[in-house]
């Protein structure tokens, strides 16, 4: 039994998000259906007080602007001061502006978990991968890059793709759920990053949080894909239904 999921249902931790404006609603819904409580923020002045009532912080750079630098800094530093886990989703970090923003962020904020696709994680391994055609790399290379990214950053890395790789640079675990609809759903990665926040909110073991969230999300994605006969237009509702159902089973099975 996934005891972390039970902990989420019982504690209903608040997960604070600096979200992107494309997938914000889906991220809030995903966090909500597994039993945690989402809160989105866009005001640096309230960072300390919102972090104070939160159990994890998710920073997503999807629709970044320089005006948001004080927000990222205030929320990240408040989380560090208050010992709350910080999860980073480095959307398109290979692009130069985003790259220097993330470099600045990592110089000022300790990040506990980074969740990205293979191209994004490769940037943390090498810091020079824009347009490198990373998808042609084989899985062994992906895993080595995830481990190198973990060593470079000191963060647990959750690298998503056909196979998901979770590593702290020493121990590594792979998750083999296969859901093509997850791959094409805009925001699947953002939702997973939010769920990792929900799991990191209930344990200090961020490796375990990364594994549990990735397994849950992958399994829900597989079930939802089957439910809708692989039709993308019906997928998101089915995904929330399956995430919710799996959470209910976990709790009633106690």
Ligand X SMILES: Nc1ncnc2c1ncn2[C@@H]1O[C@H](COP(=O)(O)OP(=O)(O)OP(=O)(O)O)[C@@H](O)[C@H]1O
| Residue 88, token pair as written in the block | 């980073």
If phi > 0 it is left, if psi is from -120 to 50 it is alpha, else beta; for residue 131 that is left
Nearer to Mg ion, 35 or 161 (CB): 161
* Residue 117 beta carbon to Mg ion: minimum distance, rounded to whole angstroms: 6
210 binds, among ligand Cc1ncsc1CCO, ligand X, Mg ion, none (CB under 5 to 8 A by kind): none
Q: What is the DSSP letter of 170?
A: S
Which residues lie near ligand Cc1ncsc1CCO (CB under 6 A)? 20, 22-23, 62-63, 91, 186-187, 189-190
To the question of whether residue 62 is assigned a binding role by annotation, the answer is no
d(C-alpha 127, C-alpha 1), whole Å: 39
Cα distances from 35 to residues 20, 24, 118, 187, 226, in angstroms, run 22, 17, 29, 19, 23
To the question of whether residue 115 is assigned a binding role by annotation, the answer is yes
Which residues lie near ligand X (CB under 6 A)? 117, 160-162, 164, 178-180, 182-183, 186-190, 192, 217-218, 221
188 binds, among Mg ion, ligand X, ligand Cc1ncsc1CCO, none (CB under 5 to 8 A by kind): ligand X
To the question of whether residue 40 is assigned a binding role by annotation, the answer is yes
Residue 122: CB partners within 8 Å, gap ≥ 6? 94, 129, 132, 134, 145, 149
* Residue 169 beta carbon to ligand Cc1ncsc1CCO: minimum distance, rounded to whole angstroms: 25
To the question of whether residue 221 is assigned a binding role by annotation, the answer is no
CA angle 126, 145, 178 (to 5 degrees): 135
Nearer to Mg ion, 74 or 196 (CB): 196
217 binds, among Mg ion, ligand Cc1ncsc1CCO, ligand X, none (CB under 5 to 8 A by kind): ligand X
Half-sphere exposure of 57 (CA within 13 A, CB side): 31
d(C-alpha 186, C-alpha 192), whole Å: 12
* Residue 249 beta carbon to ligand Cc1ncsc1CCO: minimum distance, rounded to whole angstroms: 29
Binding residues for substrate, by number, are: 40, 187
Binding residues, by number, are: 40, 115, 160, 187
């Amino acid at each position: 039994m996934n005891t972390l999921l039970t902990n989420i249902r019982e504690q209903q931790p608040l997960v604070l998000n600096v979200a992107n404006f494309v997938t914000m609603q889906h991220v809030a819904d995903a966090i909500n259906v597994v039993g945690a409580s989402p809160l989105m923020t866009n005001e640096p002045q309230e960072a300390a007080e919102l972090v104070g009532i939160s159990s994890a912080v998710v920073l997503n750079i999807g629709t970044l602007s320089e005006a948001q630098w004080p927000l990222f800094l205030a929320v990240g530093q408040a989380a560090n001061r208050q010992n709350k886990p910080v999860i980073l989703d480095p959307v398109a970090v290979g692009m130069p502006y985003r790259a220097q923003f993330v470099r600045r962020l990592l110089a000022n904020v300790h990040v506990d978990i980074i969740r990205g696709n293979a191209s994004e994680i490769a940037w943390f391994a090498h810091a020079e991968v824009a347009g490198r055609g990373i998808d042609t790399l084989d899985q062994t290379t992906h895993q080595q890059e995830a481990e190198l990214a973990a060593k470079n950053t000191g963060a647990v890395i959750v690298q998503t793709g056909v196979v998901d790789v979770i590593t702290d640079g020493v121990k590594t675990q792979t998750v083999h759920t296969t859901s093509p609809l997850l791959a094409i759903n805009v925001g699947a990665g953002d939702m997973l990053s939010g769920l990792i926040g929900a799991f990191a909110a209930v344990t200090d073991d961020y490796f375990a949080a990364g594994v549990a969230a990735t397994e849950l999300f992958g399994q829900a994605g597989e079930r939802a894909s089957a439910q809708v006969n692989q039709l993308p237009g019906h997928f998101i509702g089915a995904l929330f239904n399956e995430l919710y159902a799996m959470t209910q089973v976990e709790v009633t099975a106690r």
